[in-house]
Structure 1
């Protein structure tokens, strides 16, 4: 992690909502979701908030480092139709060693659709992959994709 990573850093990212990011597409195999409205899914909003925080962190990480989401506490307040552009604002509000906490909010041009906090843990990918490999070795012999 570079010394340039500090509380107060801000980043914003805009994304136009396609039909594939609506509630029925969250889990194609879930029949209960197939009958729900074609609006931006909460799960995809959370992912967009994470993506924005990853973008904020990226220039401040050393080679071979990345970050993993460890906590999210957000509300989804308003439905967003397909075709609208959602803009996420992220601000780094706290750093504790390799942990970064962000204030996040999302707006669709009409309403604030979500807000809250998100935390990420900065890792070295080599070490992380070793941990995943060790877990995989302890898990089921065959994993269905």
Structure 2
């Protein structure tokens, strides 16, 4: 981590919601999701927030050796967003405790505020993290 990774860091990202990021596409094998409205899915919204945080952090890490993983989300999803709308996500690093990072998050679809909350991430050594995942996969019976 570079010294520049400090609270106050901000990031912003715009994303046009395609039909493939709506609720029926979240888990195509789930029949229940297939019957739901074609609006931006909460699961994809969480991924978009993670992506925005990663983009904000990347210049302040020894990328790709250092990366970050999500460890906690506390987010609202307060308005439906149909495909074709542009979602703007804004993130701000509000706390840094060693490698643990906490972001304040908000998102808007051009008409409504669709999300507010916090997201926590942890800076990792990618090689060590991947080695542990491979080791865990080998323990599966």
- TM-based fold match above 0.5: yes
Instruction: Please give the secondary structure, in 2, of the residue aligned with 1:33.
Output: helix
TM-superposed CA distance for 1:136, in Å, is 1.2
Instruction: Please give the secondary structure, in 2, of the residue aligned with 1:76.
Output: coil
Q: 1:91-119: CA deviations, max 9, x gaps?
A: 00000000110000110000000110000
* C-alpha distance in structure 2 between counterparts of 1:18 and 1:24, whole Å: 12
Q: Is residue 18 from structure 1 mapped to residue 31 from structure 2 by the alignment?
A: no
TM-superposed CA distance for 1:130, in Å, is 1.3
Alignment of 1:1-145 (within 5 A): 1-63=1-63, 64-140=65-141
Q: Where in structure 1 do 4 or more consecutive aligned residues deviate above 6 Å? A: none
Instruction: Please give the secondary structure, in 1, of the residue aligned with 2:8.
Output: coil
Instruction: Please give the secondary structure, in 2, of the residue aligned with 1:3.
Output: coil
* C-alpha distance in structure 2 between counterparts of 1:50 and 1:130, whole Å: 22
Q: Which residues of structure 1 form unaligned runs of 5+?
A: 141-145
TM-score by length of structure 1 reads 0.95
The Cα RMSD (Å) is 0.7
TM-superposed CA distance for 1:2, in Å, is 0.6
* C-alpha distance in structure 1 between counterparts of 2:83 and 2:58, whole Å: 29
* C-alpha distance in structure 2 between counterparts of 1:38 and 1:133, whole Å: 36
